Amino acid sequence: MGSGTFFEKLKTIEFEELKTFMERTKRSFEVHQKACKVSPMGVNSSIRFLPPHMLYPLYIDRAKGSRIWDADGNEYIDYQLGFGVLMAGHNHPKLVQALKERLDRGGMTYGADPVDAYEVAEELTKRFRLDMVRMQLTGSEATWIAVKLARAYTNRDKIVKFEGCYHGSNDYLFVSYYPSTAPAMPVREFHSLGVPSHVWRDTLVARYNDLNSVEYLFKKYGDDVACVIVEPVAMNMGVVPPEPGFLEGLRKICDEYGAVLIFDEIKTGAKLAYGGAVEYFGVQPDLVTVAKAVAGGVPFSAVVGKRDIMELIGHGMVAHAGTFNANHLSVTAAKVTLKEILTPDVYGPTRRLSEELAKGYQDILDDKGIDAVVQWIGANGHVYLGVDEPVKDYRGYRKQDSDLWWLIAYAMMNRGVIFEVLTADDQWTVSVAHTKEDVEKTLEAFKEAVSKLT
């Protein structure tokens, strides 16, 4: 139930909010006690439970549209949305109907591609202005095969990633995602036991929004660098957009040294714009990885890329296989989500609601004299508490007051809102199911929660 250290830090208001949360979520507590006996941490993805700030995880019973209900029957306006997966909202009727029809035809998986998998591939190539697609199930798989392709294409081993950026739990990418220190130059720091150091010795770490740090690595290792992999908007340290010229600079450096540029659009691909960050920023990478919102909540990921790179996949070349790749349910979900739900006309309305949230949060915090910066782009945003200047990299992100953020998170849940992903390093997502009324209620709850702090 959290550490003693955390409780010792609580002031009266913190104690009141946590006490209220515990009274509202007794069933989740009971489930957690049982789950801990049979599953490490009581969950099946460690990010779902983050002590000491989380007392215990919420366990969810059902959801629909912009709403979710926990094990105790408490209703929330949901901006976590499955870690940003559900821009289509919960249980979208078009998606539910399409999956039912597919199941009625006996369509789970056959060990063969469904007849319409190529339609999803065509849609993805159109959105990202690239040539070919390979499908998997998870974002980690997509980034893994993308880096493998880059290494095969260049016949080089080293890769460049950025401090504070997350690309899945691949052994050679799970480096400096959340380093414990922030020295002048980025350092390599791994985040899991059980991985031999030689696996990530060729992973180089640069600073996001700092082209000088990238150029330094290329001047030192350029002839050995296979690729640069980057979140075009850094969304694992809140929401950190690229500064003008940053993505263009990466494109130029990769061209100069013959390296592959990979946009990890697991988070931005179906949410930032119709054509993801590629469209939004006008910079063309060689490979794009997509997942999360692309299939409306059903597991699906893909690598989208240039033909000369993608055609390295084949027998005796780059191995790529998977029993559940392009399974019928995933393909159906991606097809309906991309072609019928996340159509070009939905991005304007969701962006405007997200902007209303961002400005509302900032105005409330400013009125109460609380130092904070609210950053947003497209359907996503993040409240950086205790910060008085824009966050542009991991060092800026580390300055936020995570204790205060968690207090606000609990206060918001007690008022029926999950206002961001419950990690303090992620963001909110506005879905097509959210309404202006949802935003107004959210801001009312936020104003009440923040007012208790002053």
> pLDDT tens across 353-381, in order?
999 999 999 999 999 999 999 999 999 99
What is residue 273's predicted lDDT score, i.e. its pLDDT? 97
Residue where a domain stops, chosen among 324, 341, 358: 341
What is residue 184's predicted lDDT score, i.e. its pLDDT? 67
Domain assignment of residue 70, given as a range: 4-87+346-451
CA torsion, points 40, 43, 46, 47, in degrees to nearest 10? Answer: -160
Whole-prediction pTM value? 0.94
Query: Would you say 308 and 130 are in contact if contact means Cβ atoms under 8 Å apart?
Result: no
Active-site entry in 70, 78, 210, 264 = 264
Backbone region of residue 199 per phi and psi (left: phi > 0; alpha: psi in -120 to 50; beta: other values): alpha
Tell me whether residue 110 is one of the annotated catalytic residues: no
Considering the domain architecture, whether residues 194 and 277 belong to the same structural domain is answered as yes
Considering the domain architecture, whether residues 241 and 385 belong to the same structural domain is answered as no
Summarised one tens digit per residue, pLDDT across range 91-132 is 999 999 999 999 998 877 888 999 999 999 999 999 999 999
Residue 11 confidence class, pLDDT cut points 50, 70, 90: low
Considering the domain architecture, whether residues 28 and 138 belong to the same structural domain is answered as no
How many domains in the chain?
2
Tell me whether residue 292 is one of the annotated catalytic residues: yes
Considering the domain architecture, whether residues 170 and 241 belong to the same structural domain is answered as yes
d(Cα 251, Cα 63) in Å, to the nearest integer? 41
Considering the domain architecture, whether residues 107 and 208 belong to the same structural domain is answered as yes
d(Cα 78, Cα 150) in Å, to the nearest integer? 38
Considering the domain architecture, whether residues 234 and 365 belong to the same structural domain is answered as no
Which CATH number covers residue 238? 3.40.640.10
Considering the domain architecture, whether residues 332 and 376 belong to the same structural domain is answered as no
d(Cα 297, Cα 292) in Å, to the nearest integer? 7
Residue 10 confidence class, pLDDT cut points 50, 70, 90: very low
Which CATH number covers residue 415? 3.90.1150.10
Q: Does the pLDDT at position 160 exceed 70? A: yes
Task: Pick the range with the lowest mean pLDDT from 40-49, 180-189, 294-303, 320-329.
Answer: 180-189
Considering the domain architecture, whether residues 53 and 133 belong to the same structural domain is answered as no
Considering the domain architecture, whether residues 98 and 205 belong to the same structural domain is answered as yes
CA torsion, points 395, 261, 150, 184, in degrees to nearest 10? Answer: -20
Residue where a domain stops, chosen among 287, 315, 341: 341
Tell me whether residue 166 is one of the annotated catalytic residues: yes
Which residues contact residue 253 at a Cβ distance below 8 angstroms, ignoring those fewer than 6 apart? Answer: 211, 214, 215, 218, 228, 259
Write b or e for each residue in 358-373: b if 16 or more Cβ atoms lie within 10 A of its Cβ, otherwise e: bebbbebbeeeebebb
Summarised one tens digit per residue, pLDDT across range 304-337 is 999 999 999 998 899 999 999 999 999 999 999 9
Considering the domain architecture, whether residues 64 and 115 belong to the same structural domain is answered as no
Considering the domain architecture, whether residues 146 and 295 belong to the same structural domain is answered as yes
**What's the per-residue H, E or C state across the chain?**
CCCHHHHHHCCHHHHHHHHHHHHHCHHHHHHHHHHHHHCHHHCCCHHHCCCCCCCCCCCEEEEEECEEEECCCCEEEECCHHHHCCCCCECCHHHHHHHHHHHHCCCCCCCCCCCCHHHHHHHHHHHHCCCEEEEECCHHHHHHHHHHHHHHHHCCCEEEEECCCCCCCCCCCCECCCCCCCCCCCCCCECCCCCCHHHHCCEEEECCCCHHHHHHHHHHHHHHEEEEEECCCECCCCCECCCCCHHHHHHHHHHHHCCEEEEECCCCCCCCCCCHHHHHHCCCCCEEEECHHHHCCCCCEEEEECHHHHCCECCCCECCCCCCCCCHHHHHHHHHHHHHHCCHHHHHHHHHHHHHHHHHHHHHHHHCCCCEEEEEECCEEEEEECCCCCCCCHHHHCCCCHHHHHHHHHHHHHCCEECCCCCCCCCEECCCCCCHHHHHHHHHHHHHHHHCCC
Considering the domain architecture, whether residues 197 and 289 belong to the same structural domain is answered as yes
Which residues contact residue 306 at a Cβ distance below 8 angstroms, ignoring those fewer than 6 apart? Answer: 130, 131, 132, 286, 287
Active-site entry in 166, 177, 208, 394 = 166
Residue where a domain stops, chosen among 341, 371, 393: 341
What is residue 6's predicted lDDT score, i.e. its pLDDT? 39
Active-site entry in 148, 158, 267, 292 = 292
